[in-house]
Amino acid sequence: MNFKKKSVRDIELKGRKVVMRVDFNVPVKEGKVKDDTRIKAALPTIKYISDKGASLVLLSHLGRPDGAVKPEFSLRPTVDVLSKLIGKPVLFADDCIGAATVAKAQSLKPGEIMICENTRFHKEEDMKAKTEEDKAKADTFAKELAKLGDIYVNDAFGTAHRSHGSTAKICRHVPVSVAGFLMEKEIKYLGDAVANPQKPFVAIIGGAKVSDKLAVLKALIQKVDVLVIGGGMAYTFLKAQGHQIGKSLCEQELLGTAKEIMDEAAAKKVKLLLPCDNIAADKFDNAAQVKTVGQDIPEGWMALDIGPKAVAEFSEAISKAKTVVWNGPMGCFEMPNFAKGTLGVCKAVANSGALSIIGGGDSVAAVNQSGLAEKMTHISTGGGASLELLEGKELPGLKALNDL
């Protein structure tokens, strides 16, 4: 996949009409935005386009309204938040397509900004086009979106793995399609990690299930020097090695696959690290009885975090890295008694001096919780998209942009 894409800095913007895909899929409760992180992430591109004298129409989805107009998924609450952040009025359109919305977009003056209503209020946005008729409907929807501007900017990396109307199909109908600054940054770090990582390259993969990370594990074994596996998925690997894992999480049907991954790592001379000790609990509860055990978990107990020796071993490997990719926690870090493993790894990554790329919602949450976010090179905004990029898959929303 070609990662060299034109960005918004490569084009003339003065007097132009720009339609931009952002990720304003923010938590909303009782009509109020509860976390504006994603809106803030888009600000550099929004300000740049506006300051350069272009008018700007913003498209986004929010939640899963399944092609129906549902007030609880309206983007209207984001208007006041963006207006305060950017320091000027922001307009709102009650739909993302249609004559009234197009007229409103065309009437925008240079520097003015408008947010359109949720693109997923239309089923054609993310339609699984199984028939020629469905394909035609999806294409017509994308063509309608394209009427909102003569330049398309995609700054929503979190949806770049979706071939939706507002993320990929729109590019067929707009003369110029480029990346925003957030997208550009994701391409720079994640693209380089895939294509040309500095060695030693250490990947830390955690989370609950092997099945969720199977493709990325197989892809990374072809590239990394060290593969660290933690979280609930580690116990499928330990069981595949013949260890007792008590009531720990295990995907029985993937024991053979886990063995194949370990054999592949050995064949590629990739050092594969599993937790050498674990924090076991008698129940899934922060107030559970706990004890530190080795790689064998006693009957009736479940491992909910990696142990102190594992933290030390993983940290030692991380300290030697030049590139670190981390996706997924080491344990049930949302419970304080089982957060030490994840936070220990977080400190090791922060102190490593390596180019560090953090992807995945739980990893990002752990880094933010640790207070060490500023010491990471790059924190990805797209969990699913970052995983698919690391797997080596093409991202439709990225592929559709103009090449440099």
One of 3.40.50.1700, 3.40.190.10, 3.40.50.1260, 3.40.710.10 is the CATH number of 8-182, namely 3.40.50.1260
Catalytic residue among 209, 268, 309, 393: 209
Tell me the domain boundaries of the chain: 8-182, 189-390
The answer to whether residues 37 and 2 touch, using CB atoms and an 8 Å cutoff, is no
pLDDT at 361: 66
- Helix spans in 231-294 (H): 234-240, 255-267
Domains 8-182 and 189-390 share a fold: yes
Which one is catalytic: 38, 147, 162, 213?
38
Q: What are phi and psi of 327, to 5 degrees?
A: -140, 110
Per-residue model confidence (pLDDT) at position 246: 97
Total Cβ atoms within 10 A of residue 37: 11
Contact 118, 60 (CB under 8 A): yes
Check 6, 361, 393, 399 and give the catalytic one: 361
Residue 384 bears catalytic tag: yes
Distance CA 93, CA 62 (A): 15
d(CA 244, CA 57): 57
pLDDT tens per residue, the chain (404 residues)?
678 899 999 999 999 999 999 999 999 999 999 989 889 999 999 999 999 999 999 999 999 999 999 999 999 999 999 999 999 999 999 999 999 999 999 999 999 999 999 999 999 999 877 788 989 999 999 999 999 999 999 999 989 999 999 999 999 999 999 999 999 998 888 887 777 899 999 999 999 888 988 989 999 999 999 999 999 999 999 999 999 999 999 999 999 999 999 999 999 999 999 999 999 999 999 999 999 999 999 999 999 999 999 999 999 999 999 999 999 999 999 999 999 999 999 999 999 999 999 987 688 888 888 889 899 999 887 778 888 888 888 899 999 999 99
Which listed residue (259, 384, 392, 399) is catalytic?
384
- Whole-structure pTM value: 0.86
209 is catalytic: yes
pLDDT reported for residue 195: 78
| pLDDT for res 193 | 75
d(CA 208, CA 216): 14
What's the pLDDT tens digit per position in 280-323? 999 999 999 999 999 999 999 999 999 999 999 999 999 999 99
Q: Which CATH class is domain 189-390?
A: alpha beta
Per residue in 340-361, pLDDT (tens digit) is 999 999 999 999 999 999 987 6
